[in-house]
Structure 1
Amino acid sequence: MSAVSKKKNGKRKRDNVENEERVSRINKIIETERKKMMQNFTISNKNIKELSSLYSDLQADASDLSFNVSTPEFVVVGMQSDGKSSFIEALLGFQFNIVDTNIGTRRPLIIQMINDPNIHEPHCRFRKESATNTDTGNADELFESKLIPVSSLSSEIIKRTNSVAGTGKDKVSSKPIILRVEYEFCSNLTIYDTPGHRIGGDLKLAHNIKEMVKELMKPPNRIIICLEQSTVEWPNSNSRPFVEEVDPGLTRTIVVATKFDNRVKELRDPESTNKYLSAEELSGKTVFFVSLPVRRNLDPKEYKTAIADCYLSDLRFLLEADYDQERFKDRIGFFKLKKYLEQYLFKKYNESFYPILQTLENLTSTTANELENAKNQLYTPDINHQKAQVNSFITYFVSLIEKLLEGSVVGEPDKFGLTLKEEIASMGDFVWPNCSVDFNFQNSDLKLYGGASYERLMNEFEFISHSIEFPKTSLSEVAVALGTAKSHNAPLFQAAASDIVQTKAEQVLFPLVEHVLHRCEFIMKHLFEIAIKVIQNEQSHFFTILKNSDTFIAELRRVYMKFIQKTKLVCSSKANDDFAAFTKILDWDLLAGLGSINEYDYVNVTLQDTKKRVETIMNNCDLLGKNEECKAKKPFSRVIDTESQREVLMIAGKLFAGIRYFWTKLLRSKFNAFFLDPMFQDLGSELLDHFRKMEDSQFEKIFNSSVIELKDKIAKLELKHTQLHTQLQNFKKATDKFNSIHQ
């Protein structure tokens, strides 16, 4: 044998040895991975049971404390035939779903997974199709009693899909099918299997599917699992850009490359393999690569083994391609993904509970402080001390009312103030009479109370009052007003205009008085609640018994409201007297005291005319100027025609305008004098006089009830503190155990 042949034979033998060693090394890795996978699977399921049980306990504790804890949910999203249904089967641990690529999922399938260590075969029940999202009740009421065998689930889902979406393959429905699965290997979570979105074909169908799936992805507690077939290059992905419309940074999205067995066979060398697995186009986002069994009708044990075989087959191809194990080994195979999802789930559990724990600690501490303060205030002073304390409280309360009227943010306007719309809505069916013009009232969008709210009302009143036009007057009314004189039959237009304007002004202007007073009453009553809130929220313990006494506050409120009502009646009476005097004998100087606005037509008025005139007045334009002398028509004829009607009504309209302008100014001064001023001058003495005139027995009754209320409060606080302390300790123990199990 030649030297060259010997050399070739030697190299061949070395290559065979290296190849055998490489195959042996790969086989050892595969076998080790198989054992580790089965061991981890057993441990994982044990941990799932304990974690799920603890999570249920923590949820129950949180519910008892009125905390809302959202259960993490998975939404599986992908193109048609990306393997969504097969992926969900793998999560559940048994096969059942529709995988016919020509049908797919045409209604959202919501699977509520409930861990029950005592159920060794899946218990599957469908929610009643007649139940709605607003229905409440236990599972026995909302879910059908019949258990569906795993082997019948697929046909049952097809039947329910067809009954709602129709038998045609071109229609979908947003009404979900809800399936509850109780099983020993389930986690406590909810999975959404969504209709596969598509490109091309029926554009309306594609749009409907896309919008439906987007709505399902929106809730923040839902973890999006974005599936993409591994045979599609990263830049050509369709599912990921769609998901990014809802989750732009993919912060709650896990990307999974499915059907990896179709791609892994093409990866022959380290460079191309590592480049594909790195998914550089995803900017560092973690991607998992998964293959699942194609064979159907496998029992749970066979199915688990088949999933493992798919992973080990993919791993063998990668090892033969000499991929970067350290970098990518935790991203390959369903079981690695399942482990990652469990860790992700734990993270979400933790995010739910630690804020509750912090809140619970703060609540326990706050309750302890409240309890200590209440106990410090529990004493029984003599009657003179009680009266002195009430006088001090009332004096402080009245000073606070005055402060809020004069202007102060101590009442927290952003919290307790009202916009104009909110103020009117709070009064129920309040509507200004005889007003059909929309104005931009001052500070209407600001949250006000007290003096600021009163001034806004006065501005609003002036706008409304000035906007009321001289009412429509018929020809018959003019004819009747002209009548006949005692000594002659010549028509007196001025007399007719005076009579008409007196009646019309009373009809349309005077009703404003009660509406303004009604609003004033509301503003001042609202001020009482704000002032009491301010006192109750103060840290000072000087008025602890009184400010927390429902009996005393109720009595103070009753006297305060009685004062407001009395003030309202006095102001209404004054306004009524003044209006009667103001219109009883008309002063024709009113015509000279109010200049005309561009020869204003008082008879034929449009809304635009009204708005322009009112804004001119409210913008402080000078309306006081000389008016042309009123020219009355000489009485040549008793025929009352439209020309005569217009002349009379123009005179009456001008008179009405004068009454309206000066009455509005006068009425505002009346409100200030007889409603606002008593709040400053008379409220304090009224409240103090009421409590000073109280019999000692009434005083003792108020204070005794206050002490009883305080004792009752202490008892409730002690019970609350005990319960919170116990719940806090239990919650801490549960979360500590939760962490230890996960670790």
Structure 2
Amino acid sequence: MQHKEFIILCLEDCNDWSNATTRRIVMQIDPELSRTIVVSTKLDTKIPQFARASDVDVFLSPPACTLDGFMLGDSPFFTSVPSGRVGSGQESVYRSNDDFKQAIYLREMEDVTALEEKLGRSLSTQERSRIGVSSLRLFLEELLQKRYMDSVPMIIPLLEKEYRSTTRKLSEINLELSSLDVVKLKEKGRAFHDLFLTKLSLLLKGTVVAPPDKFGETLQDERVNGGAFIGSDGLQFPHKLIPNAGMRLYGGAQYHRAMAEFRFVVGGFKCPSITREEIVNACGVEDIHDGTNYSRTACVIAVAKARDTFEPFLHQLGNRLLHILKRLLPISVYLLQKDGEYLSGHEVFLKRVASAFNNFAESTERSCREKCMEDLTSTTRYVTWSLHNKNRAGLRQFLDSFSGSEQSIVGGISVSANLPQDLSSESPGNDKQDTKSKLDIKLNHLALGIDSNSSIQTTETRLADLLDSTLWNRRLASSSERIVYALVQQIFHGIREYFLASAELKFNCFLLMPVVDKFPVLLREDLESAFEDDLDNVFDITNLRHSLGRRKRETEIELKRIQRLKEKFRQIHKQLNSNQAMLRAVRHSHHPRHCRRSVDSTSTSW
């Protein structure tokens, strides 16, 4: 019913037009009832219910405000259909369709008679034209005939347009058939190679030709389709905090947004919490003694935390960027089709190009991710202090403030934990290895709760007690725990900064750039090799020629059919114009002025 060309037949069974339920449903589709014919059924059962003639008048000619619109035909129709089946069975009332038609006609006459008796007058011509199934049928036939006649002048231009389109399609098929030779097919393949790469490069550089509502993805859609950045805590970074998160992007813009989200998430990731059990377990046993080395303990904890934290992000980044690159293929195809540069009909060749692009993207992403994994493995396997301890000044400030406030009570004697001044005021020109050694001494002294001056002044007995309570017995003091935690933080943050910079640089250099400078060469080599080995399989020439031949025959048949329709409707249009001209002539001959002129001329001749 939603089709605008359809006529709706609304059947009502009510005495009060203001309570018509079926009409309310129809008005949801046709609010003005402009293409709806309202029919009141079972008229023979309603007539006895009217007590006054005025009730019949209102029922036959309801006010316009009651009908809620301007219905097709201006007023309702009223019908009665006799009950009973048509057939030869015992339950059948009518033996044939003619008997049933006769019964309908008799019922119509009875309804007219009953209405005139109720009204006390004869029905007007307008009222009579609305009573009975025959009146409804006549109205529908005239309506359909009028619409058909009105549509004929519009059908001919549509057929002309369809004829031109089919003729052009037939010419294109003939052109394709004539171009199915080795040289022309190779030229087509090479030309498509260049055009495809041009569209690919255009998408990476930026374009607005492809509609974002069709090909763009918001950050939320991108996370669903390409995977989200989820840390070890299982939480996602709120997408609203990422720039352009709500915009539907594709190509280079989408790649840049994904990399920006990676920087936001990984760059803001803090070192996971450290437990006392982890510190004690990380102490372990040395190969030459079983004492504790808190520098080594911090390194063991930091690299383990960093590896477990950053490795999932690396895989997630690879999957996300691979998803973005693969989306370039359908968008490039759309741009080619939009510019009329698409090789329609050469499905085998197009699938080969698509497969080559997807395979290249997958292998390149895998290779790039392996390079990043090598960096992550190296930076979490061996701690290089010049690389990992990026914020050395911050660490010194922490240790200085810690040593100034921390007091260690050993054997009832308060021992100051101040750091050596020569280490804190070390000039930048000193040797780095010497700095590392002094820093290790400093940390070990803090872990023992004493400084270098107090260690010299302490008796051998006191030193033995200290070593026994800390170094040998593995009793973890709060000062030792805080120092290990500070070292782990520094190492973890150093690994994070290096991993973040290295991953972004490598994905740009070894994933994005190869699409621009490496893939064109590989695709050209693959196509040229296929052209030389088996051109028939690349373009599937045999099946293509068979398919084009079938399309040509179907198009020729369609062209002949349209031609016949054109001739038929042209004749109908010509006949309609002729009938209208004759009708105008007849009307003109019956015009009073024309008749008077004819009478005057006749009198003059007499």
TM-score range, shorter chain: 0.5 to 0.7
Once structures 1 and 2 are overlaid, which stretch shifts more, 711-720 or 389-398? 389-398
Aligned to 2:368: 571
The code of the aligned residue for 1:449 comes to: Y
Aligned to 2:548: 714
What is the total number of aligned residue pairs between the two structures? 480
Q: 1:698 aligns with which of 533, 540, 549?
A: 533
Aligned to 2:309: 508
The 1:223/1:460 distance shift into structure 2, 3 A limit, reads farther
Deviation at 1:717, TM superposition (A): 2.1
SS at match of 2:376: helix
SS at match of 1:328: helix
Once structures 1 and 2 are overlaid, which stretch shifts more, 389-398 or 508-517? 389-398
Aligned to 1:639: 475
The 1:733/1:464 distance shift into structure 2, 3 A limit, reads farther
Percent of counterpart pairs with the same letter?
24
The 1:313/1:689 distance shift into structure 2, 3 A limit, reads closer
Deviation at 1:715, TM superposition (A): 0.7
The 1:559/1:248 distance shift into structure 2, 3 A limit, reads closer
What whole-Å deviation, never above 9, does each CA across 1:620-674 have from its counterpart, x for those lacking one? xxxxxxxxx9x97633543348997677456535643553355324422221122
Matched, 1:373 2:373: no
Within a 5 Å distance, the mapping from 1:195-206 to structure 2 comes to none
5+ residue gaps, structure 1 = 1-71, 73-216, 595-628
Aligned to 1:685: 521
The code of the aligned residue for 1:313 comes to: E
Distance across 2 between alignment mates of 1:727 and 1:496: 88
Aligned to 1:312: 109
- Asked if the contact 2:9–2:36 (Cα under 8 Å) also holds between the matched residues in 1, the reply is yes
Once structures 1 and 2 are overlaid, which stretch shifts more, 219-228 or 305-314? 219-228
Matched, 1:284 2:70: yes
Distance across 1 between alignment mates of 2:161 and 2:244: 39
SS at match of 2:61: helix
Distance across 2 between alignment mates of 1:566 and 1:304: 78
SS at match of 2:505: helix
Distance across 2 between alignment mates of 1:473 and 1:349: 85
Scaled by the length of structure 2, what TM-score is found? Answer: 0.62
Deviation at 1:575, TM superposition (A): 1.4
The code of the aligned residue for 2:346 comes to: S
Aligned to 1:652: 488
Aligned to 1:256: 39
Aligned to 2:206: 407
Distance across 1 between alignment mates of 2:224 and 2:149: 43
The code of the aligned residue for 2:368 comes to: C
5+ residue gaps, structure 2 = 86-90, 396-438, 450-469, 576-606
Bigger Rg, which one: 2
Matched, 1:674 2:471: no
Within a 5 Å distance, the mapping from 1:482-561 to structure 2 comes to 482-483=283-284, 491-539=292-340, 548-561=345-358
The code of the aligned residue for 2:14 comes to: Q
Deviation at 1:444, TM superposition (A): 5.2
The 1:289/1:370 distance shift into structure 2, 3 A limit, reads closer
The 1:358/1:414 distance shift into structure 2, 3 A limit, reads farther
Aligned to 1:663: 499
Distance across 2 between alignment mates of 1:690 and 1:413: 32
- Asked if the contact 1:567–1:674 (Cα under 8 Å) also holds between the matched residues in 2, the reply is yes
- Asked if the contact 1:260–1:314 (Cα under 8 Å) also holds between the matched residues in 2, the reply is yes
Deviation at 1:500, TM superposition (A): 1.2
Distance across 1 between alignment mates of 2:477 and 2:148: 87
Deviation at 1:710, TM superposition (A): 5.0
**C-alpha RMSD of matched pairs (Å):** 5.2
Aligned to 1:227: 12
- Asked if the contact 1:387–1:699 (Cα under 8 Å) also holds between the matched residues in 2, the reply is no
What whole-Å deviation, never above 9, does each CA across 1:538-567 have from its counterpart, x for those lacking one? 336xx86xx753454344445444543443
SS at match of 1:255: strand
Deviation at 1:509, TM superposition (A): 0.7
Deviation at 1:511, TM superposition (A): 2.7
Distance across 2 between alignment mates of 1:508 and 1:355: 70
The 1:486/1:501 distance shift into structure 2, 3 A limit, reads same
The 1:327/1:508 distance shift into structure 2, 3 A limit, reads same
Deviation at 1:294, TM superposition (A): 7.9
What whole-Å deviation, never above 9, does each CA across 1:559-608 have from its counterpart, x for those lacking one? 444543443244223312332344432522247689xxxxxxxxxxxxxx
The 1:646/1:737 distance shift into structure 2, 3 A limit, reads farther
- Asked if the contact 1:568–1:675 (Cα under 8 Å) also holds between the matched residues in 2, the reply is yes
The 1:337/1:734 distance shift into structure 2, 3 A limit, reads farther
SS at match of 2:336: helix
The 1:238/1:592 distance shift into structure 2, 3 A limit, reads farther
Deviation at 1:373, TM superposition (A): 2.5
Distance across 1 between alignment mates of 2:228 and 2:150: 48
Distance across 1 between alignment mates of 2:482 and 2:280: 12
Aligned to 1:121: none
What whole-Å deviation, never above 9, does each CA across 1:232-276 have from its counterpart, x for those lacking one? 3x345555446545654345654333454545854547x982685
The code of the aligned residue for 1:284 comes to: F
The 1:593/1:345 distance shift into structure 2, 3 A limit, reads farther
Distance across 2 between alignment mates of 1:643 and 1:248: 82
Distance across 2 between alignment mates of 1:554 and 1:239: 55
The code of the aligned residue for 1:249 comes to: E
What whole-Å deviation, never above 9, does each CA across 1:274-324 have from its counterpart, x for those lacking one? 685143221433322334558998823666555434432342355564577
- Asked if the contact 2:42–2:81 (Cα under 8 Å) also holds between the matched residues in 1, the reply is yes
The code of the aligned residue for 1:331 comes to: R
Aligned to 2:434: none
Within a 5 Å distance, the mapping from 1:297-446 to structure 2 comes to 299-300=93-94, 304-316=101-113, 318-319=115-116, 321-322=120-121, 325-340=124-139, 365-377=164-176, 378-379=178-179, 391-419=190-218, 432=230, 434=232, 435-437=234-236, 439-440=238-239, 442-443=243-244, 446=247
- Asked if the contact 1:223–1:253 (Cα under 8 Å) also holds between the matched residues in 2, the reply is yes
- Asked if the contact 1:498–1:652 (Cα under 8 Å) also holds between the matched residues in 2, the reply is yes
Kindly indicate which of the two structures has a greater share of residues assigned to helix: 2
Scaled by the length of structure 1, what TM-score is found? Answer: 0.52
What whole-Å deviation, never above 9, does each CA across 1:98-122 have from its counterpart, x for those lacking one? xxxxxxxxxxxxxxxxxxxxxxxxx
SS at match of 1:664: helix
Within a 5 Å distance, the mapping from 1:233-244 to structure 2 comes to 234-237=17-20, 240-241=23-24, 244=27
- Asked if the contact 1:273–1:321 (Cα under 8 Å) also holds between the matched residues in 2, the reply is no
